Amino acid sequence: MSKGQQSDVQQKIQNLLNGAEKERAQKRVAHGLAELGRGKIEHLDNSELLVFLPGYIQGLGESGSGTEMNSLLNVFEAAVLSGDVILRERSIALLSIAASTIVERGSVEQLTRISEIFTTWLETETELLPGAEIVALQMGQLLRKLLNSENWIQAKAMVGCVADISRGKTDKSHLIVRLAARILEKITDREMVQRLLKVFLDSCTEESPVAGDMAKILLGMGKGLVSISMDMLPELQEQERESLIDLLSKGDELVVVEIERLYETGRMSVQQTCDMVRILSRMNRASVYPRLVACLAHPATEVQHEMVRGIIRNGLHLVPRLLEALDVVADEMKVLVIKKLSQLSDKEINERFLKMLADYTDGMRITCKPVVHSLVVALGQEVRLENLSTLKALRSGLQFDTDSVLIGLTEASISRLELGIRRAEHRVVDDQNVEFYDDPVQLRQARELTAEVRYEVEELAAQGKIDEALNILKKKINEYIQSGKLAAAEVLRDLILKIDPGAIDTLLEVEELLVKQQQTGLSDNNMLLWKDFRSLVGPQVFEKIFGLAVVERYGDGETIIAQREENDNLYFLVSGTVLLHCGSGSEETFLKKIREGTILGAETIFDVSLSTVTFKAQGSVLVYSLATDLLAGLENEYPGTYQILEKYCDGQIDIPELLKMSGIDRRNQARRKVNKSIETKILDMYGVVGQRSLRGLMHNISYGGVCYEIGIENTKSVRRLLGRQMQIIFKSRDKQRAELNGKFVAFERNVEVPGKYRVHVRMLEPIDPKIYELIVQDTV
């Protein structure tokens, strides 16, 4: 055999051997794939299999063989979660190849599955494995693919994981934290964020459940979301702006820091600054407020307004923060702060109000009317003697040409304080002062009433019939309590231990009944005085009324209800005599003497008016005072109570008839009949003209007041207007216009036309004669 032939033979033998080895290698790879399919991840140690798998994975992607691909993904998932670093490295490398294939041509299910695996791996991985940079790039691609395909649930999971790692919320190495941050950077470009924000805002408008997923995705984007959102906010409608502000307010410290960075650039518009304040104040975190407080002194009042709103809305450290704002904000914002602080009863607040009022009215020069108006109203709501003296001093220095609205507000606050102080001073706190058991006459009458019973039980006790004696005592005590003879019941109660020193339980039982009845305010005297009233309203309502009422005692000459006062209580005159007066200028005219058993103040409650007369005590007077809000509660619990009370009070004290008989004209000026349409603007409690207007038909006019008819829904609405200032607008046929300030002092129901009320208005200052004649002559 020649050398050439020998070489050919050797080559053939080598080819045969190579072919055999290749065949054996293919069998080993096939076996390894089969074992991988059974979940045996240790076969990833096989180098031959590892070399084969990349091409195999790509081939699966090209052929669209989903079953085999899913099977491999399951194996890789198990491997990346194993404790073997080598296996994790190899599986991550293979997953990277699979990810490239799936991103390019994989199904939705495969995209979701590989995203889940990467997310799970990143949550658990503690070391930065080789090839992680490429994996980060692929995870960014996967995440973008999820977002583009609107796979919100898996995208939310993936973003949440990456965001938590990038912000150091998990125990990861610095390198892995940086890796997570780069993944987020891949998806937070302006176009993507704007698209996701649109989806979010649309889902909020439609109240779609997608809104929750979108919120978590967007918040996960961190500072990339903030700058784009702050640019978008001024262009949004209010509802969309509100949704986006609410979203950002749920962000973490990263959001706060990024917003602060943008603010410090000095390029934020006023609107953006307002939005910033709304966002940060809604976070309601103690650490955020000190970073915001400088905005109280922002030159734009819109920003100050947002700051004040934020303080009020949060409610944290409300008093010190609002007092701090009061020192800094502009005058128009001070009004808002004063209104809120006036709802909080606090000595420090009241002292600040008094000082501010002194500063703003120094030398009787009103430096800012709205602030002064709000201070006057606020001081009138806190019943303190120093407030009353301050407001009286202010009123004495005001002239009508200064500010008639301020005068009206000051007088209303003074009236409110005088009423509150008077009620507080005359309220009876000690129950022993309420009843008549220490009255010798009452005690003597009680002993006479119980004489026969006392004799009977004492005889039984002497015979040793203790139980029988106690039963009689209990029965008679109960009868006296039910009939309101509490003094008699107490006399018999004192016999219990005398008859049987061991009858403690019986004594406690009786005492409980007595205390309960005493708390309702019912006594022998009350029962006799109000017998007819009790039969009308029924025992339950009767006891409820006296149980809810506050007991007040007045001395000789003391005022119970003052003329022109906004009284909102009914006074049940239990004992004593009350004198009825009407003031005409500086003089008072006596009208009538009223005795116990009468209800005072009914004309201001049922006819809805300021008091047109003054009620003064003659000697010692005891009344039970029932507030109208408690009366409303009684009406809800016992329907019809209001009408029964009104019917019972009707005609008890006919004040219009008394005034007529006395010859007193409450307006002090002649009235002219007028038939003219007018418009009324209602001022709020701080003297600001509101948007709401009432149109009505005027009946008559004098220099000091007008009367006209309007339609109002119900008595409750009418009562809210009582005492309020208003502005009457007259328009003549030649288009002249006059605006006059007045005050609602009374409302009379038109019994023939439901919903119609005749309104009586007292002008805050006399009508100018020229305007008066213009109105009268222009009647239509």
pLDDT of residue 438: 47
Three-state DSSP class for residue 654: coil
**Which of the pair, 444 or 576, is modelled with greater confidence?**
576
Residue listed under structure tokens 């007092």? 323
Q: How far is the C-alpha of 776 from the C-alpha of 673, rounded, in Å?
A: 8
**Which of the pair, 52 or 419, is modelled with greater confidence?**
419
Q: How far is the C-alpha of 515 from the C-alpha of 540, rounded, in Å?
A: 17
Q: How far is the C-alpha of 80 from the C-alpha of 63, rounded, in Å?
A: 26
What average pLDDT score do residues 289-294 get? 86
pLDDT single digits (tens) 626-647:
888 888 888 888 999 888 888 8
pLDDT tops 50 at residue 668? yes
Burial of 667 (0-12, 13-18, 19+ CB in 10 A): middle
Give the largest Cα separation in the chain, rounded.
160
pLDDT single digits (tens) 44-89:
666 655 555 655 665 665 555 666 666 777 777 776 667 677 777 7
Top-ranked range on mean pLDDT: pick from 4-18, 130-144, 335-349: 335-349
Q: How far is the C-alpha of 201 from the C-alpha of 199, rounded, in Å?
A: 6
pLDDT single digits (tens) 425-451:
887 754 443 344 445 566 777 888 888
pLDDT tops 60 at residue 716? yes
Residues contacting 273, CB < 8 A, separation 6+:
263, 295, 298, 300, 303
Residues contacting 779, CB < 8 A, separation 6+:
674, 675, 676
Q: How far is the C-alpha of 384 from the C-alpha of 347, rounded, in Å?
A: 10
